[in-house]
Amino acid sequence: MRKSVAVIAAGLLALSGCGGGNAGDSTKNQTLKVSYWPDNPTFSCIDPFQVYWIESRSIIRNFADSLTDQDPKTGKIVPWLAEKWEISADGKTYTFHLRDGVTFANGKKLDAQAVADNATGWIATVKATNGAAYGASYIQGLTGAKVVDPRTVEFDLSAPNSSFLQATSTTTLAITDPAEFQLSPADRCTGKGVVGSGLFALDHYTAKVETVLTKRAGYAWGSETSTNRGEAKIDKVVFNYVAEDSVRTGNLISGATDIAWPRNPFSPQDEQLITKSGATVESRSLPGVAYNLYGNTAAGHPLADPQLRQALSKAIDRKTYATTIYGADYPTVEGPFETTTPYFTSLAGKLAYDPDGAKKLLDAAGWTVGADGIRTRSGKKLIIDFPITAGSAGPELLQAQLKQVGIDLQLRTLTTAQQATYLAEGSYDLTSTYFTRADPGALQFILNPEVSNSKALATNATTPDVTKKIQELFARALQTTDAKQTEQAYAELQDYLVDQGVTIPLFERLQKVGVSAEVHGFAFTSESFLKLNDVTKD
């Protein structure tokens, strides 16, 4: 018995001498395991400039740095790879002065030539993909970049674009070894040749299976948004893809993974299981465009009538929707943008549940209640076709709410083929979409037909006169270096969109993450992505 005690004591003494047992001690060879929503089934990619998938961008943030960073608390743009910058009076030239001593994970120097070559690569990628690369919307107006000296690079734009500075803080415009641009866009999506300057290196990316990052020695240029601006405190991060929410939650509770990161917020039941296990649930709204509904205003569609769009908006009980679908503490959407978006303005009053107001608008428009409770006009029922990709509680609840005022929202589940064509064909009355970016300019890529990702949706969502007004407000916001003018234009834009029923906000897009009690220092970036600089593990 004494011998056993002596052996145990000796073991404890040996452990106590191994680095003091501090959380994040690299001698422990710590591995952080993260379970994500499944990888993109049709466009799996880990190349910063091309990928739009949120999970991939979250991974990229930790192996590829950007010229600037964005403070998640204030939205302010702060130095990162660039120590400082100047914007010309006409808003067409951005000059960045780079930090000295930065290297890519392969040891190559990150200098002005590397940054300029990235800009050339971005422009070439847009051309090679016929504008399909996600980053196309981030470099709007960019004509090129040139080296001023080894640590100074100048970006030139064809027109002022006040969103460009924020774009330089995103994963989309992360700076990578320019050698990657010698490869095809398809090869780069596999991770081939993709090398960043981040605190981790991309070890490998196996689409739909896993992504692994490994710690970089000597990293010393984190931005001021991190407490730890040096080397990572963990050695490896393994991201795997789990389809079932219940399995992902179970893995966290059992200790098989350290972080459970779902695409949609946890169900109230799963969230309760997580907190009861001792883990925590971290949350932050995804910035950018909220989950909005958009009516088809083309001739022959019921929502061409602005009164009907307003009635539909008033008939939505957004608070009940949020708490019923996502839980009692879930926030209620307050406008076309998420609350974490710079220049956000709360329009909660205009979005208040007002079924009586909805009924008055419908009465005034000549829609009378039929025997079955659905309104009719000139012998035609008030039916709104709402295509969806799969049945779920959200659309069904919306359907029930609209029925209370006499609107028959018919849910039509699309086939895979229809999902790719229904917008272009205009075969819908109501649709929905969103856009994740911590800048309100993101909305123009939904509503401005000149630059939108779906010209058909943008064209159908508004009438020509409304489109012209929206374009004017975007121009005022973007084509200036005056922050006050930008703020005023975006405030007017948000009011206008709600007043016209162009955007019908449905719910705030909240990112919820389950974090093990053994993990410390968890943080979100301004884009509500995973930030690993300060993470340690017991």
Any domain includes 239: yes
pLDDT digits (tens, 9 = 90+) for 124-160: 999 999 999 999 999 999 999 999 999 999 999 999 9
Whether residue 197 is found in the same domain as residue 306: no
Tokens of 537: 């593990």
Q: Are 31 and 232 in contact (CB under 8 A)?
A: no
CA dist., res. 263 & res. 244, Å (int): 11
Which amino acid does the sequence have at 330? Y
Which amino acid does the sequence have at 85? W
Whether residue 205 is found in the same domain as residue 235: yes
pLDDT at 11 over 80: no
What are φ and ψ of residue 260, in 5° steps?
-110, 120
Any idea what the CATH number is for the domain that residue 468 is in?
3.10.105.10
Return the pLDDT at 28: 64
pTM across the whole model: 0.90
The sign of the CA dihedral 443, 444, 448, 453 is: negative
**Per-residue CA distances from 117 to 52, 110, 112, 243, 378 (Å):** 22, 11, 8, 38, 63
Tokens of 278: 């001792």
pLDDT at 115 over 80: yes
Q: Read out DSSP for 346-379?
A: --TTTTS--HHHHHHHHHHTT-EE-TTS-EEETT
Any domain includes 9: no
Give exposure, 122-144, as e/b (b: 16+ Cβ within 10 Å). Answer: bbebbeebeeebbbbbbbbbbee
Whether residue 449 is found in the same domain as residue 533: no
CA dist., res. 292 & res. 313, Å (int): 11
Q: If residue 288 lies in a helix (H) or strand (E), which one and from where to where? A: strand 288-295
User: What is the domain range of residue 123?
Assistant: 26-284+512-537
Residues 6+ apart with CB under 8 A from 336: 289, 290, 292, 347, 443, 494, 497, 498, 503, 505
Any domain includes 13: no
Return the pLDDT at 5: 35
Return the pLDDT at 453: 86
pLDDT digits (tens, 9 = 90+) for 207-257: 999 999 999 999 999 999 999 999 999 999 999 999 999 999 999 999 999
Any idea what the CATH number is for the domain that residue 37 is in?
3.40.190.10
CA dist., res. 399 & res. 416, Å (int): 23
Return the pLDDT at 390: 82
Q: If residue 147 lies in a helix (H) or strand (E), which one and from where to where? A: strand 142-149
Whether residue 324 is found in the same domain as residue 277: no
Residues 6+ apart with CB under 8 A from 46: 56, 59, 60, 189, 190, 191, 194, 202, 205, 211
pLDDT at 19 over 70: no
Which amino acid does the sequence have at 42? T
pLDDT digits (tens, 9 = 90+) for 288-316: 999 999 999 999 999 999 999 999 999 99
pLDDT at 262 over 70: yes
Tokens of 21: 């047992």
Q: Are 251 and 262 in contact (CB under 8 A)?
A: no
Whether residue 467 is found in the same domain as residue 323: yes
CA dist., res. 15 & res. 18, Å (int): 5
CA dist., res. 373 & res. 196, Å (int): 60
Whether residue 280 is found in the same domain as residue 292: no
CA dist., res. 288 & res. 336, Å (int): 9
- Name the average pLDDT for the chain: 93
Whether residue 361 is found in the same domain as residue 257: no
The residue among 520 and 12 whose pLDDT is bigger is 520
β-strands 31-36, 236-241: how paired? parallel
What's the maximum distance between 2 C-alpha atoms anywhere in the chain? 96
Whether residue 455 is found in the same domain as residue 531: no
Q: If residue 485 lies in a helix (H) or strand (E), which one and from where to where? A: helix 483-499
β-strands 31-36, 510-515: how paired? unpaired
Any domain includes 17: no
Any domain includes 4: no
Instruction: Determine whether 443 is exposed, middle or buried from the number of CB atoms within 10 Å of its CB (0-12, 13-18, 19+).
Output: buried
β-strands 523-524, 530-531: how paired? antiparallel
Return the pLDDT at 25: 45
Whether residue 251 is found in the same domain as residue 318: no
Whether residue 69 is found in the same domain as residue 106: yes
Any domain includes 8: no
Number of residues that this document lists for the chain: 538
At which residue do the structure tokens 């995973």 appear? 530
Return the pLDDT at 385: 98
Whether residue 530 is found in the same domain as residue 479: no
Number of folded domains that form the chain = 2
Whether residue 279 is found in the same domain as residue 317: no
Return the pLDDT at 416: 87
pLDDT at 193 over 70: yes
Helix H segments across 405-461?
A: 416-425, 444-447, 455-461
pLDDT grade, residue 15 (50/70/90)? Answer: very low
What are φ and ψ of residue 511, in 5° steps?
-90, 115
